[in-house]
């Protein structure tokens, strides 16, 4: 399958993700029933974001030219993809890049997100039946030439053991940090609320800790976060919120809350669902000195990823800062 055909398959998949057709609606409904964190609204939002930022024809052609991807694969390899399942379509970037680079994929889906990936593959095969030989979903990934695996710090140890003999990319736990200067507009705080709460805060690009200047007034941020008060009606989220709030009260810790999220001063960049950590700084320029770069996916704020854009990565916003397309090119 040549490059132009692969690009055609991908951008037609993007067109599909932006439409409302019965087959897609049925897949979305099934996925939301399988995993209650995958609401129908969030699946559609994630699909459209991928379509616009990763499956745009002009973008695909530009990236293919940038990385000098040859029209015809000279030495196609088989790449095993171990997918995460924390938010809808979280592993699609690996799939798109592998296919665009001219390699075959063998995919181990997450038990939390099996329906959506399977449906995307069905759509791609409908566009071009040859895709069925290029991309396959398997329970076991054996005899691959390389591996890309995403998981927790614990699962990463197993991945390192099993895949150490092969070219590989192993991704561990990461999260994102917001850096505020205290002069953010109401619109910027509204956008930051999206960075924090979209997909229930489960993504590695969700902001789970903010750094603010000493004397920071949290009230405008707490008010901005009220746009997600609807989470109180989501049983799994509400259970987490009630638990975190109860623990804070029982431990006699100072906290702030707007009835849908708990803010706590905590040095850890990782916060549980329904909780946001914060730290104070004296010098904004010194914040990066206190961050563990190996744990940070992206920084959000003025001068960093703009507020509201954390959950809209482009195809070349590579996880962990590892150039995925360069890795895939190196296999040939």
Query: What is the residue-level pLDDT of the chain in tens, covering all 332 positions?
Result: 999 999 999 999 999 999 989 999 999 999 999 999 999 999 999 999 999 999 999 999 999 999 999 888 778 999 999 999 999 999 999 999 999 999 999 999 998 888 999 999 999 999 999 999 999 999 999 899 999 999 999 999 999 999 999 999 999 999 999 999 999 999 999 999 999 999 999 999 999 999 999 999 999 999 999 999 999 999 999 999 999 999 999 999 999 999 899 999 999 999 999 999 999 999 998 998 999 999 999 999 999 999 999 999 999 999 998 999 999 999 98
* Phi–psi pair at 331, nearest 5 degrees: -70, -20
Domains identified in the chain and CATH numbers:
3-173 (3.40.605.10), 175-300 (3.40.309.10)
Q: Using CA atoms, how far apart are residues 83 and 207, in angstroms rounded to an integer?
A: 22
Find, among 73, 54, 69, the residue nearest to 11 by Cα. Answer: 54
Find the length of the chain: 332
Cα–chain center distance at 36: 17
Q: Using CA atoms, how far apart are residues 8 and 57, in angstroms rounded to an integer?
A: 8
Alpha-carbon torsion (71, 80, 122, 25), positive or negative: negative
DSSP classification of residue 203: S
Q: Using CA atoms, how far apart are residues 218 and 223, in angstroms rounded to an integer?
A: 9
């Amino acid at each position: 399958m040549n490059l132009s055909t692969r690009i055609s398959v991908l951008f037609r998949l993007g067109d599909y993700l932006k439409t409302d057709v019965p087959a897609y609606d049925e897949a979305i409904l099934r996925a939301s029933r399988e995993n209650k964190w995958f609401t129908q609204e969030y699946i559609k939002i994630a699909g459209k974001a991928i379509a616009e930022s990763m499956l745009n024809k002009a973008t695909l052609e530009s990236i293919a030219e940038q990385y000098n991807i040859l029209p015809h694969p000279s030495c196609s390899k088989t790449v095993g993809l171990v997918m995460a399942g924390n938010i809808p379509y979280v592993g699609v970037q690996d799939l798109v890049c592998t296919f665009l680079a001219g390699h075959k994929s063998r995919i181990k889906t997450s038990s939390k997100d099996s329906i959506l990936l399977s449906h995307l593959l069905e759509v791609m095969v409908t566009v071009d039946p040859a895709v069925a030989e290029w991309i396959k979903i398997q329970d076991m990934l054996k005899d691959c030439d390389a591996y890309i695996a995403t998981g927790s710090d614990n699962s990463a140890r197993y991945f390192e053991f099993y895949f150490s003999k092969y070219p590989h990319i192993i991704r561990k736990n990461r999260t994102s940090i917001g850096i505020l200067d205290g002069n953010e507009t109401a619109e910027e705080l509204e956008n930051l609320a999206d960075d924090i709460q979209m997909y229930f805060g489960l993504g590695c690009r969700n902001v789970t800790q903010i750094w603010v200047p000493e004397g920071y007034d949290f009230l405008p941020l707490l008010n901005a976060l009220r746009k997600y008060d609807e989470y109180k009606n989501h049983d799994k989220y509400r259970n987490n919120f009630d638990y975190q709030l109860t623990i804070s009260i029982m431990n006699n810790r100072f906290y702030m809350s707007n009835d849908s999220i708990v803010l706590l001063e905590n040095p850890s960049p990782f916060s549980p669902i329904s909780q946001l950590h914060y730290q104070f700084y004296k010098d904004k320029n010194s914040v990066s000195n206190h961050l563990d770069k190996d744990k940070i996916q992206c920084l959000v704020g003025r001068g960093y990823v703009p507020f509201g854009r954390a959950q809209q990565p482009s195809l070349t916003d590579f996880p962990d800062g590892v150039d995925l397309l360069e890795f895939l090119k190196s296999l040939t």
